[in-house]
A and B are shown apart, each in its own frame.
Chain A
Amino acid sequence: MSEQLLDTESIEPIEKEPGRFREALHQLKKNKGAIAGLIIIAIFLFIAVFAPVIAPHDPLSQNIELRKSAPFTEGFLLGSDDLGRDLLSRIIYGGRISMIIGVVSVGIALVFGILIGVISGYYGGWLDKIIMRLIDIMLAFPYVLLTIVIVAMLGPSLTNAMIAIGISQIPRYVRMVRASVLAEKEADYVVAERSLGASNFELMFRSILPNCLAPISVQASLGVGEAILSSAALSFLGLGAQPPTPEWGLMIASSREFITSAWWIVTFPGIATLLAVLGFNLFGDGLRDMLDPKLRD
């Protein structure tokens, strides 16, 4: 009897499934935008990690005599700023700061967003109502305004800018995670796992959350780009990094008066910001396509 059972089932071929990494790579190859984004991100990460090795000059050392040198003169590849500091070196070190800002502020937003969103979606009821109304209040403020308000309360500094950006980004993760959890918690496998003795905590964070990761990772990737942009904006307004820190937004702000006389001082940090944000956005969009099962082959 059991022999027969085995026979009928063994007809089904057991093909070797490609690994997850190979499959991800295959999906990635089809998406040119995502590859471009990934390459840009990789370059910026490389520059950020090896900044001291790559930078030709000390980003902080001033040379008043060589101030506002044009690109390719006096040994400055991208020229020098109004205090005679090497622009290229400052942009390279600025990349380091921007990457840290992006990762840390999105990290803050993710941790709290996921925690609050999962709890809100899973338990529902009055707890969910209270959390969602608080989130509504946060969303009622324009994003930049909310960030500025928080920095103004904490005091202007780079660390506080990261915290402010992180907090301002929390609501979108809460809403997204909550929506995913609401959809997933009714799934049969959740009831099945509960029937096998899983606790609420296990169900929330071990069963349901991994099933919600696709939209979260897309949003996180896009969020890094936005965080870099926001920190540049805050520094531009004087609420983020303080001089002489080589931060892109701050560099643009402090040199905008020279835009007619020495265009390079304000242009190159701007291009760097643009490229970094573009990289994360391209990658985020590509990730969304990759994780959408309907667009797979």
Chain B
Amino acid sequence: MNKLLDSNLFNQEFVPKRHKFCDGRAKSDISLASSAQQRFGMEEKMEKAIEICGLTKRYGRNRGVQNISFVVEKGEIFGFLGPNGAGKSTTIRCLLGMLRYEAGEIKVLGHCAGKEQKAILQKTGYMPSEVMFYPSMTAGQVIKLAADIRGLSCGEEAERLCGLLGVDRKKRISELSLGNRKKVSIVCAMQHKPALLILDEPTSGLDPLMQEVFWELLTKAGEEGTACFLSSHVLTEVRQYCRRAAIIREGSLVRVDTVENLLRSSLRNIKLAGVEEAPALPEITGIKREKDSVSFSYTGEMQKLLRALLVLAPKDVLIEEPSMEEMFKWYY
């Protein structure tokens, strides 16, 4: 648990032990739990927006997510990347208390997920990827309903957000496109100025102008201390707006790191001219043969590659850094 709370370690790949203590469902080590309880004191509450440790969720015999662990700091915009079906939405729904999980521990804004779910949701704004509201209600009624259930008067902020996003409050939900429903969802998620925003593919369906407005809103919220946890497929957005990101593949976390470090991997695109075969190295993948050249991806040590190239003696060698898309495909 001490490892979990060490944010430096969370910048690296980290596989925690399976345990939890929030809701008493797991038979966890008591001393470990009490030590963690001490560490999850007020100080921690103020600094961490999300703490997930060893989260495991299965759907019957099917895989959900396995042993997921990471921390989202207060005020940061954190990206959550992965291909379809990797477990992004499952993780988000566990955070929001919609799914019960078999193992692990989740703390959101210092509160235990599941046990103190109402307190979590009071301070959280959520925007799902497939936004749907009650079709017979108007956008304005939905926004007011969300504020009324929160017991807050958010009229002024809702008005401001509707103005910025161009939400027609009189239109019925059934008449709105996905993009317009997303705008309503942004207002619902942000009108109460939450301490944490959880956004599942937030910009899908939004036009480029609205995307710009959305990111401005999010950046400003981040500056005011709101943490933002977003899942996305749009890598350029993640590179531009997120400080750190986690990559999930087939239900398991591949890596948690700063976006800068994620991009600074050992993956290189190599092109050799004047040869027909690539060196026989296990770190080589994606070999493509052309007329008088061969290209491939390489993830090993450069000295090892150079030694192999001396034997092949190509006419020319081109070594490139991969694009962001290539990099994430590699992680996926």
A pairs with B: no
Residues of A within 8 A of B (CB): none
